[in-house]
Amino acid sequence: MRLCLWSLIVMSQVVAGSMATAAEARYAVHLTKDIEYARVDHHSLQLDLYLPQDAVAPPLIVWVHGGAWRAGSKDGMPLGELVKRGYAVASVDYRLSPVAKFPAQIHDCKAAIRFLRAKAKQHGFNADRIGIAGSSAGGHLVAEIGVTNGHVELEGTVGEHLDQSSSVQAIVDYFGPTNFLTILKQSTPHGLSVRVPALQLLLGSQPEENLELAKLASPVFHVDRNDPPLLLIHGDQDPQVPINQSHELHGRYKELGLSCQFEVIHGGAHGGPPFYDEARIELVDRFLSRHIRNR
């Protein structure tokens, strides 16, 4: 009996030690740029793939950039620390609003997810369970993608891998718009100066001029009981996207009893270092570990 007990103690120490080693692992980052995931009207849609070197089947995060839907690019992906912690990250470009109006941006990102699932074995990451993250306009897009898994009108037919699923299993929304019917009423004068022209380009009209399209483009109107866990990160002094936008999506999740965390950055504006500091990276890591890492 004493020998068995001693063996159990030793085994538990070995397991605990190996878990600590895995948790503390730091990986070098391998970057492959400009992978074409689809082509639309001779327009090449590309992504950059960040892989933690020597990690075995790392979980995948799809990053969607911001820029008021009309600017920005896949360059400058801010989650490099998570790659060093063992996540693969695909940073995705999509057609911007001066080129194509909504829902082209959703169609493109969903095509990227289908492509990544189809190519998972080739690149060595695990795409069984995918996390999606983005900031500002990218935050809007990842929330919209996450709560519209299987939505016929929003799936689109972009890309060559329509047999693959575009579903995601976790959402990280950094200060993204969620309700186009309320955002202008909530906005500061500065916010209006950015948001009014941006929505005109994205939708082809102002929200009140096309309510059905505005609702189709607003994540709060799509939430149902099948939606994946959500992490919201928003600054309470955001001058561009009012924090009430995140409160609305958080409230809808709570109404349905869905898993949702809301991290308020007190004094936080619209992005910047506080959103990606050590504490917030740890927060995102713990959230994604629960929902997309292999168990």
Whether 227 maps to a domain, the answer reads yes
- CA gyration radius, the chain: 20
Q: What is the CATH number of the domain that holds 222?
A: 3.40.50.1820
Task: Look up the domain containing 115 and give its range.
Answer: 30-291
User: Is 239 a domain residue?
Assistant: yes
| Beta bridge partner(s), residue 62 | 90, 132
Q: Which secondary structure element, helix H or strand E, spans residue 91, and what is its range?
A: strand 88-92
- 262 in a domain, yes or no? yes
Whether 5 maps to a domain, the answer reads no
Instruction: Let me know if residue 211 belongs to a domain.
Output: yes
The pLDDT, as a whole number, for residue 294 is: 61
Tell me, yes or no, whether 20 lies in a domain. Answer: no
Closest CA to 112 of 99, 84, 97, 93: 93
pLDDT by position in tens, the chain (length 295): 433 433 333 334 433 333 333 446 799 999 999 999 999 988 999 999 999 999 999 999 999 999 999 999 999 999 999 999 999 999 999 999 999 999 999 999 999 999 999 999 999 999 999 999 999 999 999 999 999 999 999 999 999 999 999 999 999 999 999 999 999 999 989 889 999 999 999 999 999 999 999 999 999 999 999 999 999 999 999 999 999 999 999 999 999 999 999 999 999 999 999 999 999 999 999 999 999 986 4
Nearest in space to 229 (alpha carbons), one of 259, 255, 256: 259
Q: Measuring CA to CA, which residue among 96, 156, 88 is closest to residue 116? A: 88
What confidence score (pLDDT) does residue 190 get? Answer: 87
Q: Considering its fold, how many domains does the chain have in total?
A: 1
- Asked if the structure places residue 278 within a domain, the reply is yes
The answer to whether residue 18 is domain-embedded is no
Nearest to 203 by CA among 223, 171, 181, 172: 181
Give the count of alpha carbons within 13 A of 223, CB side only. 23
Specify the residue for token string 């082509």: 39
